[in-house]
Amino acid sequence: MNEFELIKHCFYWPQNNNDIICAVGDDASIVQVPSGYELVQSIDTQVADVHFPASAPPQLIAQRALRCAISDLAAMGAKPQAFHLALSLPKDTSQTWLESFSSGLRACADEYSISLIGGDTTSCPSIVITIQVQGLVPAGKALTRDQAQAGDDIWLSGEIGRSAAALENILATPKIFRENDNGLAAAYYYPQAQIDLGQQLIGLANSAMDISDGLLQDASHIAKASDCCLNIESQNIPLNILSIEQFGQTQALQFALRGGDDYQLLFTAPIAVRHKIEDLDCYRIGSVRELAEKSNNNHNDNNSQGKWILLDDQIIENTAMGYQHF
Amino acid sequence: MNEFELIKHCFYWPQNNNDIICAVGDDASIVQVPSGYELVQSIDTQVADVHFPASAPPQLIAQRALRCAISDLAAMGAKPQAFHLALSLPKDTSQTWLESFSSGLRACADEYSISLIGGDTTSCPSIVITIQVQGLVPAGKALTRDQAQAGDDIWLSGEIGRSAAALENILATPKIFRENDNGLAAAYYYPQAQIDLGQQLIGLANSAMDISDGLLQDASHIAKASDCCLNIESQNIPLNILSIEQFGQTQALQFALRGGDDYQLLFTAPIAVRHKIEDLDCYRIGSVRELAEKSNNNHNDNNSQGKWILLDDQIIENTAMGYQHF
């Protein structure tokens, strides 16, 4: 097959969404946004041997890439609508690889009811996967990072640290992964984008984000955007039992604090709605405080070391928070 | 600067567009689509030493990447609204490189009134630039590839082949490019997305696309999507004088037929509007015909060699049309 035939073979499948006017195959896609809604969009790139092992099963690479992107929609309280795929591959990529990648992508797209509406395929020495996702949110209701209020509870949607714990196993044997494995690796390859919860949090949460770079670092983004301080209580962080079993309690906590890739939601909400959020099976892990240095209006990171995040009332320096890409 | 500071330094600039509810800095961007409009979107990737020389000036790499992406909006008749940038860079990329890239990106964004509303920066062995662009089109009015009608004139918005002619010079001396150069290379680094013309063609053209992979190959996309045949008249193709001067008439025509990267619009329109389109300074280069094999309803490329495109009434085989990425 030539380039166009191969793309058609792997990435054209029927879409069932009235918002999609034109999908894959023209210069551009066309969607409508229903009256009363806004469009939430995010773009995410994953690079072989940076974000996933190049030799991992292609269907898992696709699953993980799309799930991680969709998670940003969950963090905004949006309902998935559509996505575009930019796929850069080495010239010697086999049709089998591409078909496997496509099957994983489609399975994930079906699970989250999100339509593939466009893309670009290019040759590149590395495998680079960029996915742009979009979803709908009632106008003015999106969950952002900048509305956390002093006095808010801090919440987590579920266990964290499991994906970071999985990484050591995955890097040791990247090609081995059993389908339906419920071990650590499932958290890495099949992160669960909290789409339903995100939508339920509209009207309850003041701020929200998904945890991709680690709890402490991501919590600092809410703190900086909202100009407040987040105090995390380590004993209330839900740790994964498999992570504790393999690595011990202390390391499992470190994975939870500084490891990324869990894609649970971190959010803050007024105490008044605490009982409603407990009904959603979330974990209360701390509280939002006023900034200690209220007189300092310069939010430049260089001048604000260590005022954004407390762990058990102890200041955490910005440099000790988690993964940085550069 | 750390990762987050550097991104903020290079890619946060004021946006002036009432449709943008939330731009760079949260989990996702938020836009509104005005009532009566649809959202047109495209995603484009450019890879170093595949789509541009890795050592080219960074501001030109950015200009070219964004212009090529915006061209897809022109091809649909859309007005630019916003874009997302996914930028993958080697770990040793300098701050100077990033600042130069940013300045080129911003200059282009300002020229086309398109807002940078989100992105992702990752490390990667190669420079890989993916840009997702979006624009607005009156509902139901977008120009697509699938409505060409037998009897339509075929039109070009301007000269083609110049960018392909430029490539030889550029690859010879990738680092040398004078700002405000009006030579061949300007067509390569500063392709002019036909945004105004695209919008003017709504209601006039039956089908449209931009030429990125070469006239013959791209014309075949309109033919296949519209189930018709396009006959191109070679003597009516507008060739660039600089290309003719350096390479001669015969090679200049080959660049025009099979070279890509010009980003002129190729469109078809009824004869009834011929005079209106002549007023838009476009070039009439042929006509749309019914398919010779009208009884063959199988549109699979394997069964349809050479029925889509005629050049001066001679059949062009699919394999002789232009660039393929794989």
Where are any strands of DSSP class E within A212-302?
Answer: 229-232, 265-269, 283-289
Is the distance from CB of A239 to CB of A184 less than 8 angstroms? no
B91 touches chain A (CB under 8 A): yes
How large is the average pLDDT for residues A1-11? 79
State which residues of chain B have pLDDT below 70: 1, 3, 175-182, 293-306, 318-326
pLDDT at A326: 45
pLDDT at B182: 62
For residue B145, the chain A residues in CB contact (below 8 A) are: 25-27
- Residue A283: beta bridge partners? A156
Pair type for strands A283-289 and A265-269: unpaired
How large is the average pLDDT for residues A27-31? 91
**What value, to the nearest 5°, has the Cα angle with vertex B39 and ends B37 and B45?**
160
pLDDT, mean over chain A: 89
Binned at pLDDT 50, 70 and 90, residue A185 comes out as confident
For residue A2, the chain B residues in CB contact (below 8 A) are: 301, 318, 324, 326
Q: What is the DSSP string of B106-159?
A: HHHHHHTT-EEEEEEEEE-SS-EEEEEEEEEEETT----STT--TT-EEEESS-
Task: Closest CB to A38: pick one of B31, B41, B210.
Answer: B31
C-alpha neighbours within 13 Å on the C-beta side of residue B206: 24
Binned at pLDDT 50, 70 and 90, residue A120 comes out as very high
Q: Which helix (H) or strand (E) holds A5?
A: helix A3-11
Pair type for strands A283-289 and A229-232: antiparallel
Q: Flag whether pLDDT at A134 surpasses 90.
A: yes
- Residue B82: beta bridge partners? B115, B134
3-state secondary structure of A276: helix
- Residue B229: beta bridge partners? B289
Q: Dmax over Cα atoms in chain B, in whole Å? A: 65
Interface confidence, given as ipTM, is 0.89
pLDDT at B189: 84
**Helices in B173-315 by DSSP H: which ranges?**
184-189, 195-201, 215-226, 241-247, 249-258, 274-278
Residues B254, B260: Cα–Cα separation, whole Å: 11
Nearest to B196 by CA among B270, B283, B115, B135: B135
Place of tokens 């047109």: B40
Instruction: Break chain B down into helix, strand, coil percent, rounded to 5.
Output: 35, 25, 40
Whether the predicted model's global pTM rises above the 0.80 cut: yes
> What are φ and ψ of residue B269, in 5° steps?
-150, 150
The structure tokens listed for B257 are 């037929």
Place of tokens 């070009």: B156
Residues A211, A191: Cα–Cα separation, whole Å: 11
How large is the average pLDDT for residues A202-224? 94
pLDDT at B163: 84
**What value, to the nearest 5°, has the Cα angle with vertex A160 and ends A157 and A166?**
140
B50 touches chain A (CB under 8 A): yes
Residues B217, B223: Cα–Cα separation, whole Å: 10
Phi-psi region of B121 (alpha: psi -120 to 50; beta: other; left: phi over 0): beta
B117 touches chain A (CB under 8 A): yes
Q: Which helix (H) or strand (E) holds B21?
A: strand B20-22
**What value, to the nearest 5°, has the Cα angle with vertex A204 and ends A199 and A209?**
60
Residue A27: is it exposed, middle or buried by C-beta count within 10 angstroms (0-12/13-18/19+)? buried
Which chain B residue's Cα is nearest to A93?
B326
Task: Closest CB to A326: pick one of B86, B123, B302.
Answer: B123
A33 touches chain B (CB under 8 A): yes
Binned at pLDDT 50, 70 and 90, residue A165 comes out as confident
For residue A4, the chain B residues in CB contact (below 8 A) are: 301, 324
Q: Which helix (H) or strand (E) holds A8?
A: helix A3-11
With pLDDT > 90 as the criterion, what percentage of chain A qualifies?
67
Nearest-neighbour CA in chain B from A244: distance (Å) = 30
Q: What is the DSSP string of A26-74?
A: SSSEEE---TTEEEEEEEEEEEBTTTB-TTS-HHHHHHHHHHHHHHHHH
Do B29 and A6 make contact, defined as CB atoms within 8 angstroms? no
pLDDT at B177: 64
pLDDT at B46: 95
Q: Which helix (H) or strand (E) holds B288?
A: strand B283-289
The structure tokens listed for A154 are 């801090």
How large is the average pLDDT for residues A28-34? 94
How large is the average pLDDT for residues A18-41? 91
The more confidently predicted of residues A11 and B137 is: B137
B36 touches chain A (CB under 8 A): no
Residues B231, B90: Cα–Cα separation, whole Å: 46
B214 touches chain A (CB under 8 A): no
pLDDT at A178: 57
Tens digits of residue pLDDT in A261-298? 889 999 999 999 999 999 999 999 999 999 986 444 44
Question: Which residue out of B17, B22, B26 would a mutagenesis test of the A interface target, given it has the greatest number of A Cβ atoms within 10 Å?
Answer: B26
pLDDT at B323: 54
Residues A185, A53: Cα–Cα separation, whole Å: 13
